[in-house]
Every structure is written in C-alpha cells, then in structure tokens.
Amino acid sequence: MRRRSGLLFVAPALILFGVFVLYPMVTAFSYAFYHWQGTTRGGFAGLDHFVTLFTRAPFKTDMPRALLHNLLFFLGTMAFQNTIGLAVAVMLHRRPRTRRMLQTLYAMPYLVSPIVIGYLWTLLLSPTFGPVNQLLTRIGLDSWALPWLGDPDTALWVVILVSVWQWIGFPVLLYGAALGGVPEELSEAARVDGASHRQTFFRITLPLLVPAIGTVSVLTFIFAMEAFALPYAFGGSTGNPAGSTDFISLLFYRTAFDSGAADAIGTSSALATMLFIIIFGGALAATAVLRRHERRITA
C-alpha cells in the first residue's frame, strides 16, 4: 500500500481518536496546575491543588479514606476473585464436555450493567423484604439476617463481594486459556518421575501460570482504582452509609460536578491526576516484574 493512500485510510480513526481521546487526556493533566474561577482559567497554580488534597477539609479526611477503600477493593478482589477463579479454572480443565457451558454461565453476570447489579443486590439484601435475609431466617440463621448495606462495617464488603461475584467469569476464562497452553508433556514427565499431583501443580503448572496471574492482577488493579458505577448504585455519590463505600472516583465526581466550589476544576483535576499516576505507576511496576519473570522461565 502506498503511503498517501495509507494515510487516507488512517485519517478518520486518527481524527476521532485525537479529538475525543488524546486531546482531552493530555489537557486533563494541565487543568490541575492552574487556578480556576468557575470555568475561567486563572494563573499558574503549581502544586497548590495537590497540597489542598492533603491539607484542606473535606479532602484531608475524605481522600485517604476513599483511597483506602480502593485498596481494600483491590486486595479483596485479589483474595477472593482470583483464588476462586484459579481453582474453578483448574477444576474445569480437562472437562471438555461441560467446560464451555459452565464458563458461559459464570460469565453471565459480567454482561449486566454495574448499575443494574448494584440495584439488584440492594433489593435482594433489603432488610424489610429482601429474599436473602428471608432465606437466612428460614434456614435458622436469624442472627445472620442483618441490614448488610445499612451498616458502615459491612457495606464495603458487600460492594467488594458483589463485584467479585459479577467478575468471576473473567479470571476463569483467562486462566482457562492459559491452562490450555501449558504443555501436558511437562506434567506427564513430572508424574513419571514420581511427583504427586500436588507437587506437579505447585512446581510445574503454577509457575507457568504466573504471566496469566500477573495480567489478571494488573487488570484487577486498574479496575479497582477506577470503581465508580457499582459503588454509586449502592451508596450514591457520597458513599452511604456514612462514607463507608466512598471511592476516589466518587470523591472526584462530587468535587467536579456537585461541590460548586470556585476552584472545583483545579482540585478535582489534581485528584484525577493523582489517580492516574497511581494506576499507571502500579501497572508499569507490575508489568516490569512480569517481564523479568518471563525472561527467567523462557531462558
């Protein structure tokens, strides 16, 4: 293909992507370094807005709390979703007849909008009419029939577990694909040499799955840091009850569109920039570690 016609083919995509993705993404950072009067840009602000995030109310208290919730969301998702997902994938492996069917069933909740999922579970867990508490009472677990979403101590864990429930099909699929790529000869050879099933799994299969585990971890991290729609459905934009389901994205949304403060654009952009640095830094660091591991096992 000649260069000129090639450029003509690329142009529509490039213009669309440039105007609506690249340009906003690049300017997003500059917003954080200027003073703002409503929507009018003022003088250069340096790091003032970032200092505000750490020193002034409500950010001084809300920001670290929200960030902690994002981190708990990440750790909780890693602990439940990825371990259950890996276990399920290992059990599904070598069941060619039911595997596709079950993988499909597990992936169903992923399709549903997080807003729908949030409202669905709000209704299912409702203390007055919710079927979950009804069921718990019926099987004699009255003491477990609690207002799970009304209690600041449990609400965050409801959000995390519901998200795990929604996304479990994703690690099952990815680990399934990775397991399909592990050569059977390796585990057969280990078995011939007298290794037990457990030894074969932990010494042979698991190390070969590390790249896949790494991918899932990085994607989980990005996903957990950006959590917005699901907590919004559960606790509104203020993270009810009592800020216990507040996340950085919710704080960003409140600051940018609900606060009415004169410097709202500057402060919220500083928040977005901070979140971007965390996401990008975390993803880069994890990818670097993964690359090193890959080199070690391919060498």
Partner 1 sequence: MSALPGLRSRGGIIAGQRSGTREVQRPVGGVTASLLLWGYAAVALVPLLLMVSSSFRTNADLITEPLGAPWPLSVASYKEAWTAGNFATYFLNSLLVTCGAVLLSTSVATMAAYALARARSRVFRWLEALFLSGLMLPIHLAILPIFYLFDGMGLIDSRLGLALMYGASGVPFSIFVLTTFFRQLPVELEEAAQLDGATTWQTFSKIMVPLVRPALATVAVFRFVPIWNDFLFPLVLLRKEEKYTLPVGLTTFFGENATNYSAVFAGLVITTVPLILLFLVATKQIVAGLTAGMTK
Binding to partner 1 (CB under 8 A): which residues in 91-110?
Answer: 91-95, 98, 102-110
146 binds partner 1 (CB under 8 A): no
Nearer to partner 1, 60 or 94 (CB): 94
Distances (CA, A) of 273 to 35, 202, 224, 265: 15, 40, 16, 12
- Map tokens 């940018």 to a residue: 256
Nearer to partner 1, 68 or 112 (CB): 112
Nearer to partner 1, 100 or 153 (CB): 100
- Candidate ranges 1-9, 69-77, 141-149, 150-158; the one touching partner 1 (CB under 8 A): 1-9
In whole angstroms, the minimum distance from the beta carbon of 151 to partner 1 comes to: 19
Which of 139, 143, 185, 194 is close enough to bind partner 1 by CB under 8 A?
Answer: 185
- Candidate ranges 55-63, 122-130, 150-158, 239-247; the one touching partner 1 (CB under 8 A): 122-130
Nearer to partner 1, 29 or 154 (CB): 29
Inter-residue contact 289 to 235 (CB < 8 Å): no
Residues 158-177 that bind partner 1 (CB under 8 A): 165, 168-170, 173-174, 177
In 10 A of CB 105, how many CB atoms? 11
134 binds partner 1 (CB under 8 A): yes
Nearer to partner 1, 152 or 211 (CB): 211
Q: How many residues bind partner 1 (CB under 8 A)?
A: 107
Distances (CA, A) of 114 to 120, 121, 149, 229: 10, 10, 16, 6
In whole angstroms, the minimum distance from the beta carbon of 46 to partner 1 comes to: 19
The 243-282 site mask, x for binding partner 1 (CB under 8 A), equals: ------x---x--xx-------x--xx--x--xx--xx--
